[in-house]
Structures are given as structure tokens and as C-alpha cells.
Amino acid sequence: MRRRAINSSALQSIGYDAEKHILELEFKENGDVWQYFNFKPAAYKKFVNSQSLGTFFATRIKGKYDEEKMGFL
């Protein structure tokens, strides 16, 4: 999945697959990449338009969606 760099203190980049409803986040702190499943387009729109992506992630994504840490190729 292609990600794009973003301006966030917590996140390095984000990617989204609208057909599969998968959100992919790369974290600044450790470089880890996680995917979040069943993330609907409306939720993605709210996420990218939020005032703070880190706060939105911590309060509305983390622990609320099935997730998987991506391994390195």
C-alpha cells in the first residue's frame, strides 16, 4: 500500500485502501507500520480532517479495530 507523508507529531505517513477498508499508519517514534481493518471511508475522512491525527488515533482507532503489525520485507 502506498502511504503519504503527513504533518503529525505522532505519525510519519498514512495510507488507505478504500476498496478493502484498510488504514495503514507508520509511527514516528519507532518506525512501526500497522494496518487497521474494516476502516470505512467515512471514518477515514473524519481521521484525515481531524485537528490532531495522533489524538484521533489514540481515542478513536487504537483498540477499536482489528489490527496487524506489518513485518519488514
Terminus-to-terminus CA distance in the chain, angstroms?
Answer: 13
Tell me the three cell numbers of residue 40.
Answer: 470505512
Give the Cα separation of 55 and 25 in Å (integer).
14
Q: Give the model confidence (pLDDT) of 16-72 as tens digits.
A: 999 999 999 999 999 999 999 999 999 999 999 999 999 999 999 999 999 999 986
Residue 73 has pLDDT above 70, yes or no: no
- Which of 25, 31, 22 is closest to 58 using CA atoms? 25
Question: Residue type at 33?
Answer: V
Residue with cell 477515514: 44
What are the boundaries of each domain within the chain? 4-69
